[in-house]
C-alpha cells in the first residue's frame, strides 16, 4: 500500500478541472517517450512506490494505444484517454493541494580549460566520494542512502559547498568546464542540468552526475529571513543584484546552500530527466518518487505564474525528480531553456492539485478495496 499520507480519490473526466481546454497532442511526444521506457521494463515490475500505479503489465495496452495515436488529432486522443484511463485526485492526508514551482535549463558561458574570465569550475564526481545504500545492510532502511568520504578508515560526511568552493576537492575531482559567472554556476547547481555555450559559439550540455549528500537550502529565503531582501522578492535577478552590491559576502551567501552538484557532459538532446528521457517544455513535471511513479500521466491544476494567464491546467508526464521536490502533492514544472524560461520559472510558486490518470482496470480494483 502507498505511504499513509498518500491517498487517491477517483473522479470522472466531467469533473476534472479544465479537461476540455488543453491541446492534448502537445503532451503526446513526452507520453510516447515514457511509454517506450515503460514497455522496455519487465511486465511484472511495480510502477511507483508500493506499486501505486500497478505493474508495467497494467500499462501495456494503454501505452500501445498511445504509441499508435495520431499526433494531430486531439479529439481522438481525448476519446482514447477517456476510454482507457480514470483520473484520481491525489491526497496528502486530508489535504488535496500543494505547492508547484518551476524550473528551467540555464544557459551559461564556459570553456574546457581555465583562463581569462573562465574561473568557476564545474566538477565531475570526485574520486573520494563514497555512497552507501543502507538497504544493503538493513533491508528495513529501504532505499535510503548516505554520501560521504573515508577519513582514517571512518566514513564521514562529504565536504559542504563552502569547503568545496574553498578548494577542498582539488586533486580528487576533475573540472569538466570552467564558467564565467559564479551565480550562473550556482543556478546550474539548483536546476541540475544546463546548456553550455563554448568560446567558439558551439554548444554542449551538462547533466546531474551526483551530489555531496546535503539537502537543498534556498539562498533567496535566507536573504529574506535576514532582511536583506523584502518578502516575495527573492528572484534570481534580485539575488544577482544583491551579490553585485555585496561581493565580499558572496561566498558566505552561496555557502548557505550546502548541497553541491557534480556534473557530466551530455552529448545529444537534453536536458535529461531522472529517468533518462529528454524533458519536454511545458509537459514534463518533476515529482517526489517516494509517492508518485515516473513516466505516468497526470493532470495538473494550478495557478499560472503570470496572473493574466489564469489557471495552468494541462496533461503532464512525471519525468523528473529534484532534491527540493518532496511530498505527496509537490511538483516542479519544466519551462524550457534560457532566460525566457527563467522569467516564468522564477516567478512560479503556485498552489494547486494534480490527478493521476490510471488504467481503467486498475482503477476498478482500487475502487473495490
**pLDDT tens readout for residues 131-158:** 999 888 888 877 788 999 999 999 999 9
Distance CA 112, CA 200 (A): 11
Bridge partners of 284, per DSSP, are 317
Cα(241)–Cα(218) distance, rounded to whole angstroms?
A: 16
DSSP structure class, residue 328:
S
pLDDT of residue 5: 73
C-alpha cell at 150: 573515508
pLDDT at 233: 81
Q: Tally helices (H) and strands (E) across the chain.
A: 10, 17
Helix (H) or strand (E) holding 297: strand 297-303
| Rounded-to-integer distance, Cα 30 and Cα 132, Å | 33
Q: What average pLDDT score do residues 39-43 get? A: 95
- pLDDT score for 78: 96
**φ and ψ of 219, to 5 deg:** -70, -30
Q: Is the pLDDT of residue 289 over 90?
A: yes
78 class by beta-carbon count within 10 Å (0-12 exposed, 13-18 middle, 19+ buried): middle
Query: What pLDDT is attached to residue 361?
Result: 85
Q: For residue 295, which phi and psi values (nearest 5 degrees)?
A: 75, 15
Tens of pLDDT, residues 310-349: 899 999 999 999 878 999 999 999 999 888 888 898 889 9
With a CB cutoff of 8 Å and minimum separation 6, the contacts of 60 are 39, 43
Residue 12 has pLDDT above 90, yes or no: yes
Residue with cell 535576514: 226
- Band of pLDDT at residue 187, cut at 50, 70 and 90: confident
Domains for the chain: give ranges and CATH numbers.
6-102+274-368 (2.40.40.10), 126-172 (no CATH)
d(CA 278, CA 274): 10
CA distance to 154, 164, 238, 256, per residue, from 216 (Å): 25, 16, 20, 9
Confidence band of 294 (pLDDT split at 50, 70, 90): very high
First and final C-alpha spacing in the chain: 11
| pLDDT band for position 354 (cuts 50, 70, 90) | very high
Q: How confident is the model at residue 88 (pLDDT cuts 50, 70, 90)?
A: very high
pLDDT of residue 353: 97
Give the burial class of 311: count Cβ atoms within 10 A of its Cβ; 0-12 exposed, 13-18 middle, 19 or more buried: middle
User: With contact defined as beta carbons under 8 Å apart, do 245 and 228 qualify?
Assistant: no
**In the chain, pLDDT over 90 holds for what percent of residues?**
68
Give the pLDDT confidence of 215-255 residue by residue, as tens digits. Answer: 888 898 999 999 998 988 877 788 888 988 998 998 899 99
| Cell digits of residue 316 | 503532464
Is residue 299's pLDDT more than 90? yes
Provide the pLDDT for residue 180.
Answer: 92
pLDDT of 184 above 60: yes
Angle 182-191/236-245 helices, nearest 10 degrees?
A: 150
Residue 21 grid coordinates:
481546454
Q: Is the pLDDT of residue 41 over 80?
A: yes
Specify which residues 133 forms β-bridges with.
Answer: 145
Cross-strand pairs, 256? none
Candidates 154, 149, 270; CA nearest to 210 is 149
Mean pLDDT of 190-211: 91
pLDDT band at 355 (very low <50, low <70, confident <90, very high): very high
DSSP one-letter code for 327: S
The pLDDT value recorded for residue 365 is 63
More confident residue, 356 or 251: 356
Check residues 12 and 93 and name the one with the higher pLDDT. 12
The total number of residues shown for the chain amounts to: 369
Amino acid at each position: 500500500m502507498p505511504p499513509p499520507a498518500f491517498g487517491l480519490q477517483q473522479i470522472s473526466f466531467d469533473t476534472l478541472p479544465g479537461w476540455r481546454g488543453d491541446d492534448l497532442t502537445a503532451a503526446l511526444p513526452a507520453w510516447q517517450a515514457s511509454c517506450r521506457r515503460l514497455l522496455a521494463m519487465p511486465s511484472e515490475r511495480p510502477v511507483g512506490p508500493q506499486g501505486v500505479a500497478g505493474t508495467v503489465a497494467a500499462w501495456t495496452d494503454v501505452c500501445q494505444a498511445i504509441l499508435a495515436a495520431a499526433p494531430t488529432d486531439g479529439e481522438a486522443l481525448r476519446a482514447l484517454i477517456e476510454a482507457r484511463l480514470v483520473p484520481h485526485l491525489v491526497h496528502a492526508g486530508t489535504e488535496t493541494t500543494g505547492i508547484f514551482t518551476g524550473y528551467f535549463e540555464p544557459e551559461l558561458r564556459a570553456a574546457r580549460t581555465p583562463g581569462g574570465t573562465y574561473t568557476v569550475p564545474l566538477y565531475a564526481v570526485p574520486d573520494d566520494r563514497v555512497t552507501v545504500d543502507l538497504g544493503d545492510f538493513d533491508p528495513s532502511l529501504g532505499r535510503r542512502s548516505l554520501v560521504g568520504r573515508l577519513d582514517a578508515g571512518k566514513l564521514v560526511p562529504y565536504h559542504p559547498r563552502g569547503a568545496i568552493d574553498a578548494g577542498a576537492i582539488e586533486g580528487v575531482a576533475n573540472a569538466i568546464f570552467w564558467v564565467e559567472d559564479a551565480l550562473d554556476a550556482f543556478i546550474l547547481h539548483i536546476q541540475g542540468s544546463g546548456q553550455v555555450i563554448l568560446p567558439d559559439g558551439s554548444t554542449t550540455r551538462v547533466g546531474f552526475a551526483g551530489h555531496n549528500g546535503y539537502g537543498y537550502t534556498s539562498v533567496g529565503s535566507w536573504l529574506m529571513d535576514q532582511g536583506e531582501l523584502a518578502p516575495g522578492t527573492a528572484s534570481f535577478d534580485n539575488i544577482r543584484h544583491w551579490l553585485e552590491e555585496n561581493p565580499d559576502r558572496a561566498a558566505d551567501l552561496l555557502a548557505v546552500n550546502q548541497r553541491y552538484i557534480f556534473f557530466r557532459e551530455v552529448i545529444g538532446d537534453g536536458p535529461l530527466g531522472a529517468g533518462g528521457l529528454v524533458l519536454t517544455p511545458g509537459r514534463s513535471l518533476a515529482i517526489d518518487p517516494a509517492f508518485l511513479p515516473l513516466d505516468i500521466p497526470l493532470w495538473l491544476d494550478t495557478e499560472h505564474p503570470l496572473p493574466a494567464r489564469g489557471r495552468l491546467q494541462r496533461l503532464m508526464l512525471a519525468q523528473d525528480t529534484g532534491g527540493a521536490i518532496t511530498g505527496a502533492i509537490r511538483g516542479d514544472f519544466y519551462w524550457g531553456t534560457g532566460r525566457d524560461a527563467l522569467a516564468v520559472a522564477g516567478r512560479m510558486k503556485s498552489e494547486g492539485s494534480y490527478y493521476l490518470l490510471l488504467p481503467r482496470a486498475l482503477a476498478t480494483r482500487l475502487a473495490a478495496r
